[in-house]
Amino acid sequence: MKKQVIDVNQITKQVAANGKHAPVEILHGISLQANAGEFLSIVGPSGAGKSTLLNAMSGLSKPTSGEVHLLGQDPYRLRASQAAEFRRKQIGFIFQNYNLIPALPAFDNIVLPLRLAHKNVDRQKVAALLKQINFAADPSNFVSNLSGGEQQKVAIARVLVANSRIIFADEPTGALDSISRQIIFGLLRHLTKQGICIVMVTHDIEMAAATDKAITLRDGRLEKVINQPTAEALFQALNEEGR
């Protein structure tokens, strides 16, 4: 039996509204679980709350109510320094906006987690990874000079070198061409075979259909959990929700 590594229980998320209006709730009592080695996808229309859910699940944005446990830890009950260390050692995050440091070259962005964790940097291993993900630019270039697709590959490589036990990925292949998309998805799938849990937000139904479990989200509510999803089942679920 696989070990549970993510346990989200009845989380809500409210954000402040303009003026004197009451806060707006954008996540409504969501509960879900994921195991080591499981690939979970989150799908739904724009504005459904997918990225908000991912941020709340990953320890980046505290829910208004409910509980989040990652690897048995509630990241929101840790002191700031403990939470930062926990994320650095255990949690990887591929951001939709890449979240790179423009003042650093691509290579230094990639190995930043290793340096923060005081781990050795194996340049040959990084070079092999960049070749594997079809990175065409010079890694000594500043990331601000790279295309969106190459920046996304830097963000992905940064997570892949860190050996995280859980990876949260927000549209990790959105800026990539079809070949690179398949390569990256294959690498993520390979990581699950090593026991790493991956939670991915995606608009790509075909990609979501290749994960172990998909959840459909609409208006901040978890509508359906589909084990061993197919494209047909996902299309049907999303269309049913839209009626």
Task: Say how many Å lie between the first and final Cα of the chain, rounded.
Answer: 38
Closest CA to 27 of 76, 73, 63: 63
Query: What pLDDT is stored for residue 1 in this prediction?
Result: 73
What single-letter DSSP state applies at residue 140?
T
Contact present, 163 and 3 (Cβ < 8 Å): no
- pLDDT per residue, tens digit, the chain (243 aa), is 789 999 999 999 999 877 667 889 999 999 999 999 999 999 999 999 999 999 999 999 999 999 999 999 999 999 999 999 999 899 999 998 999 999 999 999 999 999 988 889 999 999 999 999 999 999 999 999 999 999 999 999 999 999 899 999 999 998 898 999 999 999 999 999 999 999 999 999 999 999 999 999 999 999 999 999 999 999 999 988 544
Which alpha helices (DSSP H) does the chain contain, by range? 50-58, 80-90, 106-116, 123-132, 148-160, 178-192, 205-208, 231-242
Length of the chain: 243
Closest CA to 3 of 164, 166, 149: 166
Identify the CATH class of 4-17+25-242.
Answer: alpha beta
Query: What pLDDT is stored for residue 19 in this prediction?
Result: 67
Query: What pLDDT is stored for residue 241 in this prediction?
Result: 53
Domain boundaries, the chain: 4-17+25-242
User: How many helices (H) does the chain have, and how many strands (E)?
Assistant: 8, 9
Contact present, 121 and 157 (Cβ < 8 Å): no
Q: In what order do the strands lie in the sheet with 39-43?
A: 91-94, 166-170, 197-201, 39-43, 213-218, 221-227
